[in-house]
Structures are given as C-alpha cells and as structure tokens.
Copies of this chain bind each other. A is one copy, B any other.
Amino acid sequence: MTPAVKAILAGYESDNPGVKANLARMLMQGRLGGTGKMVILPVDQGFEHGPARSFAPNPPAYDPHYHFQLAIDAGLSAYAAPLGMLEAGADTFAGQIPTILKVNSSNSWATNINQAVTASVDDALRLGCSAIGFTIYPGADDVFDMIEEIRELSAEAKSVGIATVIWSYPRGGKLSKDGELALDVGAYAAHMAALCGAHIIKVKLPTDHIEQKDAKKAYEGGDWSTQAKRVAHVKQACFNGRRLVVFSGGAAKGADAVFQDARDIRDGGGNGSIIGRNTFQRSREDAMAMLDKIIAIYLGQE
C-alpha cells in the first residue's frame, strides 16, 4: 500500500473496511497500481448505442471475453459493464481484474431522459464485483427518481462492502447542449454525485463555457482557459479532492486528443480516465498501444 493510496483511502473515513478494500483493489491493480491514478475500461456502449455502432469497427469486441482480456493485458485498474457482459466472463476471469457492475442503462430509443435499473447489489456480490456503477442525469425531469434509486442501491452496497461509482452526466430539462459540457455544470454535477455518497465520480471533461447566469459571478476572474485548470476545479468541487474523480473521453476521436486529455487530467490532479470507445473500437494492437501511452502519461513518463 503506497502513501498515495493511503491518502486517498483516508478521504473515505466513514466507510467500512469492506468498501475500502474494494477501493484499494482498484487503486492497487495494474500498471498504475499504487499511484492514485486509474484507467478504467467501460463497455456499456452496446446498451447505449447498440452493438453494431459499438463493436462493428472492431468485430472481436462483440465477444465479452475480449474486453476482460484487453483490460487485464493493458494493465488497467478496473473493467465496467452491464449485467450480461459481466455474467459472460466473470467466471473465466474471476479475481483477475476488479469489475464494476453498471446497474442502470439507457438506450438509443429512450423517450425520456432516464435509465432502467438492470442489476442489483446481490448480482455484484455473486459476480465478485468491487463496485456498482450508476448514471444520473442532473438536469433531467427524472433526476430525482434516479437519485433516489442510487441512494437505495448505494446504501445497500456500502453495507456489504461494495463501492459506488456515479456517472454524473448533465442532460435534459433547462440545460442547453453547450451547457451539458459547461464548467459550472460539470463541477455542479460532480459535486452532486459526491453529495449522493459516490466513492468514485465519473464526469466528462468540461469546456470553459459557463452555463448558469447565477454562477457566472463565482467564476469571474478565474482562469479557466486550460483543461487542466478545469479538471482541478472539478476535483475541488468533489470535497476539495477527498473523492476520486475520473473523466470520460466521450466519442471516439484522434489519438493525440486522447493523450492530451490524459495529460490535462493528470496535470489538473484528476484521478484518471474511463475510456471505452476510444480503445475497443480500435484494433487490439492499436488499443494496447494507446493504453500503454495513456498509462505512461499518468506515470509521468510522457
């Protein structure tokens, strides 16, 4: 156990040792083990966007085992996926990499901005998961329902030593499209997840747009020009750094942009990347090379 990880765990002072052991497992896993940084592979895009949009660019990725193996071979911190994806590989890869059971999901045809609960804490236990993952959509009409769902799931998870990861994605309601990625909105969404008791908070990298009129004053005079500074602000919004915050890369994009994101997350004090489509939609060789470089960035070698 390194000082970096000990310092992070100390932030979770009200949690029982079971939760801390699972946080420690993720923080001590893989090539970033012990650094306090994490790279997580999430594969819930099949649910969100359908299998062809997700996996056709790299057909071996249709196989759930592919992702377990990629996460293990690349030396990642954890692998996150919905129930069926984990059920299809949890036995073969038992104990080889911490898993995060994504317990709610939406899909491309959803007619309201919400998600269905698709798995339980009991599923997480029987599948040997270290955490549950849950998406909330701050701003959406149904956000109160989503918050109440994660409240119940998270309370149960905490009592049995399972950690909680909240994907906090502002969307819907009064939010403009630009607003979804605004700095004030992203920091607010991250803070809301922290307030809901998340152990790990997953948000998108924010732009320098400030969406809320009422918040403009608070941001006035600040220098939000660099992504690293914006990352630092989000981290600040998560209990002044007492909570782990990882950033998602969004849609597939050029490798250089992905690497720059990682450098900015690192420089801003973020805890790492949760990176799905940008890896599994590339060939395995390319994905391994990209993940190798991302890890090198977090290790300060690039």
Contacts and interface: CB of A to CB of B under 8 A. Distances in A.
Interface of A: 1, 9, 11-25, 27-28, 46-47, 49-53, 56-57, 59-60, 62-64, 82-96, 105, 107-112, 114-120, 122-123, 125-129, 138-141, 143-145, 147-148, 151, 155, 159-161, 170, 173-175, 184, 187-188, 191-192, 194-198, 212, 214-215, 217-219, 222, 233, 236-237, 239-240, 242-243
Q: Would you list the 8 A-B pairs with minimal beta carbon distance, nearest first?
A: A24-B95, A21-B128, A17-B90, A20-B94, A13-B91, A50-B188, A116-B144, A63-B240
A212 B50 contact: yes
Contacts of A16: 14, 16, 91, 126-128
Given A83-B196, A143-B116, A215-B52, A17 B14 contact: yes
A141 B111 contact: yes
B116 A14 contact: no
Given A22-B128, A23-B95, A94-B17, A47 B115 contact: no
Given A18-B127, A109-B175, 8 more contacts: A14-B86, A50-B212, A62-B236, A64-B239, A64-B242, A109-B173, A111-B140, A125-B125
Contact of A47 (B82, B173, B192): B192
B239 A62 contact: yes
Contacts of A64: 239-240, 242
A107 to B, nearest CB: 6
A244 to B, nearest CB: 13
Given A20-B128, A173-B109, A240-B63, A87 B215 contact: no
Contact of A239 (B88, B119, B159, B240): B88
